[in-house]
Amino acid sequence: MMMRFTNQIFVGLLSLASIYCLLPVDAVACTTLVASGRATVDGRPLLWKNRDYWQRHNELLHDDTGKYTFVGMANAGATRNVRMGVNTAGLCVENSTSRDLTGETNDGPTNGAFIRLALQSCATVEEVQALLEITNETGRRTHGNFGVIDAHGGAMMFEISHHSYRAFDANDPEVAPLGFIVRSNFSETARDKKPDEEQVLSSLYSSDRYLRAYELCESRLMTSKLDLEFILFEVCRDIDGPPTCDFGCELDSNETQGVGTFKTSSTLSRNSTVSAVVFQGVKPGESPAKTTMWSILGEPMFSVAIPAWASQGGVAEQVDGPLTSSLCDLSLQLRMANYDQDGREIKTNNLPMITRRIKTFEQALIAKTQKSVATSPASQLKQHNEAVESAHQFLQQLCDVYARRDTSLVYAESELEIAVDFQFEDENATKLAEAKNSAGDAKWSGGMTDCAVHNGALRMQRNKTTPVNRYLDMIPKVRTSNDDARNPKAHQGWIVMEVSGWNLRGATPNELVRIGFSSQPEKDLHTVGLVIERTAEDVVSVSGVAFGDGGSKIESTMKWPTQQSKPVTFVLELDKARGNPDEGDVGGLYRIFYKQAVDKTFTQIGKTGDVRRLRNGNSMHFRTAGFFGAKEEYLDIDRIYYTNTDPLNN
Domain residue extents for the chain? 7-402, 418-643
pLDDT tens digits along 436-457:
999 999 999 999 988 999 999 9
Query: Rounded distance, CA 590 to CA 302, Å?
Result: 27
Half-sphere CA count of 4, side-chain side, radius 13 A: 2
Look at the chain and count its residues: 650
Average pLDDT of the chain, as a whole number: 88
Contact 545/610 with Cβ under 8 angstroms?
no
Highest-scoring range by mean pLDDT, 188-202, 233-247, 370-384: 370-384
CATH of domain 418-643: 2.60.120.200
Residue-wise pLDDT for 267-278, tens only, equals 999 999 999 999
pLDDT of residue 636: 97
DSSP code at position 513: E
Query: What is the four-CA torsion angle of 324, 328, 334, 340, rounded to 10 degrees?
Result: -70
Which alpha helices (H) appear in 224-325, and where do they start and end?
228-230
pLDDT of residue 20: 37
Least confident of 13-17, 322-326, 416-420: 13-17
Percentage of residues in the chain having pLDDT higher than 90: 72
Q: Whole-angstrom Cα distance, residue 164 to residue 576? A: 36
Give residue 188's pLDDT. Answer: 86
DSSP state of 24: P
Rounded CA separation 169/35 (Å): 10
| Exposed / middle / buried, residue 105 (Cβ in 10 Å: 0-12, 13-18, 19+) | middle
Residue 27 confidence class, pLDDT cut points 50, 70, 90: very low
CA distance 451 to 226: 71
459 Cβ partners below 8 Å, 6+ apart? 451, 452, 453, 634, 635, 636, 637
Residue 261 vs residue 148, higher pLDDT: 148
Interhelix angle for 326-337 vs 377-402, to 10°? 30
Q: What is the mean pLDDT of residues 217-239?
A: 96
What is the reported pLDDT for 251? 36
- Could you give the 3-state DSSP secondary structure of residue 15? helix
**Mean pLDDT in residue range 546-557:** 96
Model confidence at 253: pLDDT above 90: no
pLDDT of residue 109: 92
The DSSP output letter for 413 is -
Residue 410, pLDDT score? 31
Contact yes or no for 141/162 (Cβ under 8 A): yes
CB 591 within 8 A of CB 604: yes
337-384: pLDDT as tens digits? 999 877 888 998 889 999 999 999 999 999 999 988 778 999 999 999
pLDDT of residue 12: 41
540-550 burial, b if ≥16 CB within 10 A, otherwise e?
bbbbbbbbbeb
Q: Provide the 3-class DSSP secondary structure of residue 12.
A: helix
CB 18 within 8 A of CB 159: no
Q: What's the rounded Cα separation, in Å, for the pair 347 and 403? A: 12
Whether pLDDT at 284 is above 50: yes
Place 14 in a pLDDT band, splitting at 50, 70 and 90. Answer: very low
504, 633 in Cβ contact below 8 A?
yes
Compute the average pLDDT of residues 174-198.
85
- Cβ within 8 Å of residue 606, ≥6 positions away: 543, 544, 554, 555, 556, 557, 592
pLDDT number for residue 589: 96
Q: How far is CA 166 from the centre of its chain?
A: 31
Amino acid at 461: Q
Please tell me the least confidently modeled range out of 5-19, 96-110, 611-625. Answer: 5-19
Structural domain 7-402, CATH architecture: 4-Layer Sandwich (3.60)
Long-range contacts of the stretch 250-259 (C-beta < 8 A, 24+): 250/352, 250/356, 251/352, 251/353, 252/352, 252/353, 253/352, 253/353, 255/352, 256/348, 256/349, 256/352, 258/349, 259/347, 259/348, 259/349, 259/409, 259/410, 259/411
Kindly state the average pLDDT of the residues 208-228: 96
Q: Crossing angle of helices 351-371/377-402, nearest 10°? A: 170
Residue 97 or 18, more confident: 97
Bigger pLDDT: 372 vs 523: 523
Which is nearest to 134 in space by CA: 145, 150, 151, 122?
Answer: 122
Calculate the CA 334 to chain-centre distance: 15
pLDDT at 246: 52
